Structure 1
Amino acid sequence: MANKSIADIRINYAKKQLLEEDAEYDPIQQFSKWWKEAIESEILEVNAMTLATASADGIPSARIVLLKDFSEKGFTFFTNYESFKGHQLADNPRACLVFFWKELERQIRITGLVQQVPAPESDSYFQSRPEGSRIGAVTSPQSHVIESRKWLDDLYQKNASLFAGKKIERPDYWGGYIVRPVVIEFWQGRPGRLHDRLQYTLQENNEWKMERLAP
């Protein structure tokens, strides 16, 4: 395996198909359908998704974050507003999310506009987190340069002592974003690289148009 060429690494996808007559008219309902199947498949960290953002001048950046909610309104995740992605979203409130569920040979790509969720929603989710995660959110100046791991660990322990037996309030610089989709693509791996791709595009009348894309 160590000497195997990268070009020779390939899998022939053949588990499922995605046909128009089997797809939901609404992409959120289609996502919900696939989400349920992914949950039932016990995929590890099924809610892990790539979040791609870009600066005001178009320089892209991507990282893995965790989906925490979805509805007809959009897809929600939480983070530090003062992080690198937070600054990019402030300057350019557009993003793309990508799920890849290799166990099902499926990919979902969601492109949309981004807004911060209302403060009460962020408060509620913050209080649902484990205590260690809440202390971590208060402690970490996410994406900023720090002097050492020891500095971070010492600050965490200081905050853990400070908040011992007390309610940890959500800091103003931490909260949720919702990605309101305008395009959603569902990708199903097929043999011979002739994959199924169904794209839903939001129209001016707020209805969705479904089209098949060439693989």
Structure 2
Amino acid sequence: MDATSRPPSLAGLRRTYEGEPLLETGVAADPVTQFSLWFQEALDAGLPEPNAMVLATASAGGRPSARTVLLKGYDESGFVFYTNFESRKGRDLAENPRASLLFPWHPIRRQVRVEGSVVRLPHEESAAYFASRPYGSQIGAWASRQSAVVRSREELDARYEDLAARWPEEPPVPDFWGGFRVVPSEMEFWQGQLDRMHDRLRYRRTSTGWALERLAP
């Protein structure tokens, strides 16, 4: 490798982290309540798309895959997103219904990680959300065979136009599209601190509730 083809140095990307201490005495008793508090603070801080989360899945054979999706709802039962069931993530979850989520809130030096099992939402719940989407997104859900190879952008656009002509008003819900809920078994809250001595608090589901423990950074 000659000098002109060397990758750029990463030395200039070093940074320090400093935040409020994350102490066991200062967090909620359950992780969803704590997530709600932090999510509101991410909103208040003006973070762009604080509901963007990295979704990691694995096939039955253990081949991992990750992508960014949008959180569309959460409560004590779990974290909800919507997708094409025939996409790579949809196929992974059909074979291996477990996933990990990561909320990378870098500007406020925080991240939240969620691990758990995954269940499909009832059709009625997915249909209600589909009806709330903009018309263009509804047609887009039909037009995109997500994760399939497409010969050209023109082919994709032509399919969209054909479907828009077929359904000039609200289209039906695709039978290959809907929601998933990640039911957490673990949730970790990370707060950046000086000298890489970060705070990591993990909630772990037990037979009697949630156990809270500190992890080394």
Q: 1:42 aligns with which of 41, 46, 59?
A: 46
Check if 1:140 corresponds to 2:144: yes
Q: TM-score, normalised by structure 2?
A: 0.95
| CA-based RMSD | 1.3
**Which residue number in structure 1 is paired with residue 3 of structure 2?**
none
2:170 partner letter: K
- Equivalent residue number for residue 33 of structure 1: 37
In 2, the alpha carbon distance for the partners of 1:92 and 1:27 equals 24
Residue of structure 1 aligned with 2:90, choices 86, 91, 94:
86
Residue pair 2:138, 2:170 contacting (<8 A) in 1 also: no
Q: Which residue of 2 aligns with 1:71?
A: 75
Give the partner amino acid of 1:142: Q
- Pairs within 5 Å for 1:1-215: 5-164=9-168, 166-205=169-208, 207-215=209-217
Aligned residue-pair number: 212
Instruction: Kindly indicate whether the alpha-carbon contact (under 8 Å) linking 2:117 and 2:185 is maintained by their aligned counterparts in 1.
Output: yes
Read off the aligned partner of 1:150 and give its amino acid letter: E
**Distance across 1 between alignment mates of 2:50 and 2:106:** 10
Query: 1:95-138, CA deviations, whole angstroms, 9 ceiling, x for partnerless residues?
Result: 00000101110010000000001111100110111100000001
Residue identity matched to 2:53: M
3-state SS, counterpart of residue 46 of structure 2: coil
Residue 152 of structure 1: SS of its match in structure 2? helix
Report the secondary structure of 1:5's partner residue.
coil
Amino acid at match of 1:195: H
Give, as a single letter, the amino acid of the residue that structure 2 aligns with 1:202.
R
Counterpart-to-counterpart distance in 2, 1:148 and 1:4: 33
Q: Which residue of 1 aligns with 2:4?
A: none
SS of the residue corresponding to residue 117 of structure 2 reads strand
Taking structure 1 as the reference length, what is the TM-score of the superposition? 0.96
Q: For 1:213 and 1:89, how far apart are their aligned partners in 2?
A: 28
SS at 1:70's partner residue?
Answer: strand
Moved more, 101-110 or 8-17: 8-17
Shift in Å, 1:167: 2.5
**Aligned equivalents of 1:167 and 1:44: distance in 2?**
29
SS in 2 for 1:78: strand
Identity of aligned residues (%): 50
Q: State the 1:5 CA deviation.
A: 2.3
Query: Which runs of structure 1 show a deviation greater than 4 angstroms over 4 or more consecutive aligned residues?
Result: none
Gaps of 5+ in 2: 1-6
Offset, 1:214 = 0.5
